[in-house]
Structure 1
Amino acid sequence: MNALRVTVSAIVVVFLAGMARAEEVRTIKIATEGAFPPWNAVNASGEPVGFDVDVGVALCARANLKCEFVTQAWDGIIPALTVGKYDAIMAGMSITEKRKRVISFSEPYALTSNYFVVSKSLGLPAMENGMKLDLTTETDTGKRLLADLKGNLKGRSIGVQGSTNAEAFVREYFGDTVEVRTYDKQDNLNLDLVAGRIDGGLADFSVWKAFLESKDGNSTHLYGPRISGGLFGPGIAIGLRKADEALSEKFNGAIRAIAADGTLKDISLRWFGGDIVTR
């Protein structure tokens, strides 16, 4: 009897130990677009790279999660999450009320700063540098900035990446004064801007930065105020299924940890040459 008890106990211990090891590291799939540099892109070997990927690797290490990154076209990235094709989205995705009706979000791991970029050849009226337009709160200054922008861009063609907050913003605030053209990728928007097929575009500064510093970008410049809040949400975060509360808690704890020790800022400096994560 004692021998039997010892054998059973040993089996139980081995079983529980095996369960503990299985629970220690969970393999999850994280989707990224792979076409939104420097947030995310695909390298010559076909592997996802970029700010989102490096942040994801750091978060999974802190949360003791084994990560596998996959690419997914932007227009289907949320539907594929909801049907279980993968477990999370890290693709420069802003938190918005519309998206929150379908999925949940982690705490933000980066901020957003949206700008119009236009062709220098347009000769648009000058606008004061360094102005900020926060759509979350209505102010007289904000109303004036919007009115000036609408007047200065009236009749122009403005490009945006489709199914993004930039498209929603331009259609809502400028749809009656500009021609809106949508693109599947930011690179294609940039090509049309350089070729003169559109007059300008709207996107996050982090997306514009590399283009503006390139030879092609010399023919364009930032125009108008930094635009944030409102439709653009409080920041960039991880998209998750609403039922995955435990996974959300793990990511939130990891986000706070890599923000506190400077890892998140280091990754930002590596990919953007500046700090887009510190509030």
Structure 2
Amino acid sequence: MKMDWDVSKPVSFASGDHRHLVQKVANRGGYSKLGQSYMASSEGRSQDTKESPYPKAREQASIYVVQISENDCPNETSTDSSNPFADPPVRRAFIVKVFTILSIQLLTTAAITSLFVLMKGLRTWVTVHPLFIYALFPAFFVVFIVLACCGDLHRQVPANYILLGFFTLLQGLLLGGVSVFYNAEEVLWATGATTVVTLSLTLFALQTKLDFTLLNGVLFVCIIVLMIFGIVLIVVRTLWLHVLYAALGTVLFSMYLVMDVQLMVGGNHHSTLNAEEYVFAALNIYLDIINLFLFILQLIAMGR
């Protein structure tokens, strides 16, 4: 008896791949051939036995290979290779790189700001020439837009480091220019408060099970409203409105800091960053800390 069908590919019983084999036999009349062969072999079985002690050796054996792999099991979960943080060493290396870049940015900004705060001649010059601050804004926003919007550029080395260094330099000059309008003691208090808040929120973002990355759209709407509120305060000069504005800004950028830290960490959060976007991650957290410092500085100055 010889069945006129074969198996040329591995069969997955979990996905039902074997069903087409049964259909193939039915289409070729496999069942009828099987019945005819059985009747014919029953009549001449004794004669075939006498002629040859091994009657089946004359027929070509049909060999069927069934391969069951681990991927065929429906309950088996495979690792998603598209996830940039699927490998823990890759995730740790990414986090270390982001914090290293962020530390260099903050140290550079603190050094530049200290020059403006401690040097009386520089403080006087900036106070007499306030256009210095406004002249920095166009370059600041151009570099910021390039870093934030050009995804291919902030992944290319060394262009991403050069742009980030230039942006950090501009931010330090702007922050130093703003700091000359406050007392040195107020700047020191704001620096200490910002450090404590940043460390506390970072630890909270790393430990909490709440997913703040889901609030990305809500926080964006809130920051647009806060910007409109700030424009209104240019005309309406009321102390309690300025206090409310600074308080809302502190709360908003505190939530942004938690969200950006969770974006950097990745894992089970709703949204994560690509493993090549370490410059973008450092930029986000750096801007959150700088804005936190500015709003806390306003609160301390108005409180005094």
TM-score (norm: length of structure 1): 0.22
Larger RCO (CA within 8 A; separation ≥ 6): 1
| Structure with the higher fraction of residues in strand conformation | 1
TM-score (norm: length of structure 2): 0.21
| Structure with the higher fraction of residues in helix conformation | 2
